[in-house]
Structure 1
Amino acid sequence: MSLTKSIANNAKLLTKTESEILSKLLKQKNKIKVVDFTVSSLASLLHVSSTTLFRMSRKLGYTSFTSFKEDYFRNSDIKSYTTKSSDNYINMVTKTAVMVNESFTVSMLQHLVSANRIIIYGMGINFYIAQIFQIKLRLLGFNVEVYDDSRFMRLSSKTLKQGDDSVIVLSRSGQPPELIEALVEVNQHHVYILLCTESTNSPLKTLATDIIYTDTSFDSDQDIDTRINMHIALDVMSKQIVDYMSIIK
């Protein structure tokens, strides 16, 4: 498996520190020489322990640090293992994992885990991601409903109760008028709202209780954004919920 695929498949497993180490290594790929890519040298360069480097490589799916090193430098003398777009993709994935981990608080987890019902609003591609997350949460024993139709979002928002329900909103831009209308109603019921978005300045931001930010993605006619950032955010959220539930039991 290439380093690119290893990161794409396993970045969500990394801790904040491990994600930051990986991000630094990717950014300095053209500067670090093979002879200097040793555990002791990198530990000194990045100011981390050797154990942390070994643990990071294992979480990425490598049986040894040497295997990680081989993939890191694979074909580097002929052609970089990634093109510019691939580099951007990996950096986006890594940055999102770091941002999501940094965003989470115990308060967020308490609101989600204690809710009798979790409502998820997501439109377009985000609706399909919400359905995947719905299945994961149901397997954990949560009562979860997902809506993408503007009419049903408005109707569901009128039935919410403070302390009983929590709302998760998935929106890349944070601007859809249908979501804004629904959240205005949710706010009137004083219900907890967790917004997942990449926009730092949007109408939904002012309506949310808490916000999880992801890195910025880009769309084109030839390469439509598949909301990989949202996938990562919800995967990390699932892991955080599982870990939190294991602690409070």
Structure 2
Amino acid sequence: MAFFGFKELDRLSEVDMAIYRFFTENVEKVPYMRVRDIATEAHVSNSSVMRFIHKLGYDSFPEFKVSFRSEQRRSQTNDHEISFITAENFPPDIYEKIELIADKMEQSDQIIFCGIGSSGALAEYAARQTAAVGFNSFCVKDPFYPLITQLKNTSNNLLITFSVSGKTIELIEMLNNFVNDEDVTLVAVTADPSSQLALMSRYVLCYSTSQERLAKYYDLTTQVPAMYLIEQLISTARRLAVEQDHESI
């Protein structure tokens, strides 16, 4: 019988309830305690603890501890997976925006994905996947790359930039070259819709996530929401391209 989610509380005596509450309030340390330690801290007898263990359906205390620890780990893993990314990570109109930008991708002559650090890795992945489904795309991870020179005398470019904060100075300076360029449409993928990156872009795909840093310099913020947006963009753009091909037949 599982301990977590035990529903037959009406079968428990006052002493059993005291032990049950102790377990639920000390889930981290119970697997490492002895029967007498639990009895002492729960203010019950050793025999009361063992009767409670047997009432839960376990033959021995070691069997209970193994099961308790296993349940605890599964519970923590499931909670993490469920909350890792949900609809709450995105604004209500996110799919309308994805459809709009995917349509721009399908119409563009060239798609440039840009980012630095972990966002640069995302940009590289996006460029590779986009090229794999038939779009003309490449990635820029160096903010000092002479992109303005490369895009000179070109038109109908879509520049998609990834940045969690939307405040990376080097990216902002590079994109400033294209703010008023009619041949380059700027798209921001960021967790901050009020950031400078978002404000200077024509289209914004935003998401919410807790930003985490280690020693102020190492960004440990999850990129799963941004990765989800990449997959949705590519899938939608591919669908639109197929629909366009069917219409032209």
Corresponding residue number in structure 2 for 1:159: 152
1:9-20 map, 5 Å: none
Q: State the 4+ residue runs in structure 1 displaced beyond 4 angstroms.
A: 96-101
Whole-angstrom CA distance in 2 between matches of 1:80 and 1:206: 43
Corresponding residue number in structure 2 for 1:25: none
1:140 aligns to 2:136 (yes or no): no
Whole-angstrom CA distance in 2 between matches of 1:182 and 1:244: 30
- Uncovered stretches (5+) of structure 1, i.e. residues with no partner: 1-29, 34-74
Q: TM-score, normalised by structure 1?
A: 0.60
Whole-angstrom CA distance in 1 between matches of 2:80 and 2:166: 23
Corresponding residue number in structure 1 for 2:85: 93
Alpha-carbon distance change, 149 to 156 in structure 1, aligned in 2, over 3 angstroms: farther
Contact 1:134–1:144 (CA under 8 A) maintained in structure 2: yes
Alpha-carbon distance change, 226 to 159 in structure 1, aligned in 2, over 3 angstroms: farther
Aligned length: 175
1:224 aligns to 2:234 (yes or no): no
Whole-angstrom CA distance in 2 between matches of 1:182 and 1:229: 25
Deviation of residue 225 (structure 1)?
2.8
Contact 1:103–1:212 (CA under 8 A) maintained in structure 2: no
Contact 2:144–2:174 (CA under 8 A) maintained in structure 1: no
Q: TM-score, normalised by structure 2?
A: 0.60
Aligned residue among 116, 120, 124 for 1:123: 116
Corresponding residue number in structure 1 for 2:231: 235
Corresponding residue number in structure 2 for 1:247: 243
Aligned residue among 170, 185, 189 for 1:178: 170
Deviation of residue 226 (structure 1)?
4.3
Paired residue type of 1:180: I
Deviation of residue 90 (structure 1)?
3.2
Q: Percent identity?
A: 17
What SS class does the counterpart of residue 229 from structure 2 fall into? helix
Deviation of residue 211 (structure 1)?
0.6
Corresponding residue number in structure 2 for 1:149: 142
- Uncovered stretches (5+) of structure 2, i.e. residues with no partner: 8-67
Whole-angstrom CA distance in 2 between matches of 1:97 and 1:160: 39
1:105-124 map, 5 Å: 105-124=98-117
1:209-220 map, 5 Å: 209-220=202-213
Deviation of residue 243 (structure 1)?
1.9
Deviation of residue 168 (structure 1)?
0.4
What SS class does the counterpart of residue 194 from structure 1 fall into? strand
